[in-house]
Structure 1
């Protein structure tokens, strides 16, 4: 009987203490302006320190569908992130570039910031992920 009371107390304590734990969110990214149903759409969520790098902590992918597709990224901790992604037409897991460094595949950033000769700044692409589902839309740009 004592063991049952101890188990009930431990469970109640975990429920009370566990209420302070922040829930992870799901981020659904609708990717539009996909020119062809070829390859994979790859998206990442990056904090400022990792923006424009290859090692962002959250990522997801979906088959490219002409027009639009949705990429779902799960278990995202609340915070401020920027989404970055591209259409990996040949599925080589990298953005193919010209000799001048211009992307040969469509690229996208959250909040669809304007940029021409260089990628956008984090502040122009950042958004907040809370404890619940976040829905964003990005548009692939081709150069």
Structure 2
């Protein structure tokens, strides 16, 4: 009987501690997707050393391309984050470049940073998340 009472007490304490879901929601809106071809890949990064490396995202989602694409990451802890988005028009899972090294597919970053000759730094695209937030990322084609 003591074990059951202890189990019930622990369940009650854990439900109180996590009653609010334990985190923030972050909604990403991509308003200028130019067509419905392929996929939209959204990478959420929380470490400067991982940004914007493939397969180093804190969280990643692949969505069917559509105008005004939107996605919500749920229950994120407070912290600093950065977003990288790619319109993978041919759905091959990578960003394709022309002979000069310029992306042939749409891409974008949080804070709508427009990089010059290389990917932007984490510092330039990071934002703080302490409450629910909506961020718009405009793609560069």
TM-score, length of structure 1 as denominator length:
0.81
Are the equivalent residues in 2 in contact too, given 1:58–1:76 (CA < 8 A)?
no
Are the equivalent residues in 1 in contact too, given 2:82–2:109 (CA < 8 A)?
yes
2:9 aligned residue: 9
CA distance in 1, matches of 2:53, 2:61: 15
Change (3 A) 1:12 1:44: same
2:39 aligned residue: 40
CA distance in 1, matches of 2:69, 2:10: 45
CA distance in 2, matches of 1:135, 1:63: 20
Are the equivalent residues in 1 in contact too, given 2:108–2:114 (CA < 8 A)?
no
5+ residue gaps, structure 1, are none
Equivalent residues in 2 for 1:88-107, closer than 5 Å: 88-107=88-107
2:27 aligned with 1:28, yes or no? yes
Equivalent residues in 2 for 1:1-143, closer than 5 Å: 2=2, 5-15=5-15, 18=17, 23-47=22-46, 48-54=48-54, 55-66=56-67, 68-130=68-130, 132-142=131-141
CA distance in 1, matches of 2:61, 2:72: 6
Corresponding pairs, count: 138
5+ residue gaps, structure 2, are none
CA distance in 2, matches of 1:42, 1:6: 45
Deviation at 1:38, TM superposition (A): 1.0
Over residues 61-95 of structure 1, what are the superposed CA-to-partner deviations in whole Å (9 max), with x where a residue is unaligned?
322124x2112333433211110011010111110
Give SS of 2:111's match.
coil
Change (3 A) 1:14 1:74: closer
